[in-house]
């Protein structure tokens, strides 16, 4: 998939990938839908999820962790 050329699009996301973490920064205009989708994918793939920007800082551990 090619990178979008419209950098002002609300769907452009910044990612930082490390050995044991992926940090993704979403625009505030898509934060709710991004949160729901990322949480859904974390559960589907049995990986942890930390909502660092959330008011309650939700931490979701994969099964067996």
State the pLDDT at residue 1. 54
Residue 3's pLDDT is: 59
| The pLDDT of residue 41 is above 90 | yes
Residue 8 has pLDDT above 90, yes or no: no
Sketch the domain layout of the chain as residue ranges.
14-60
- pTM of structure: 0.74
Q: How confident is the model at residue 39 (pLDDT cuts 50, 70, 90)?
A: very high
Given a cut of 70, is residue 9 above it in pLDDT? Answer: yes
What's the 3-state SS for the chain? CCCCCCCCCCCCCEEEECCCCEEEECCHHHHHHHHHHHHHHHHHCCCCEECCCCCCCCEECCCCC
Q: What is the per-residue pLDDT for 63?
A: 79
């Amino acid at each position: 998939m090619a990178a979008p050329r419209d950098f002002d699009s609300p769907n452009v996301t910044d990612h930082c990938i490390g050995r044991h973490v992926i940090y993704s920064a979403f625009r505030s205009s898509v934060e709710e839908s991004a949160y729901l989708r990322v949480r859904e994918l974390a559960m589907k793939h049995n990986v942890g999820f930390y909502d660092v920007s959330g008011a309650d800082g939700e931490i979701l551990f994969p099964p067996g962790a």
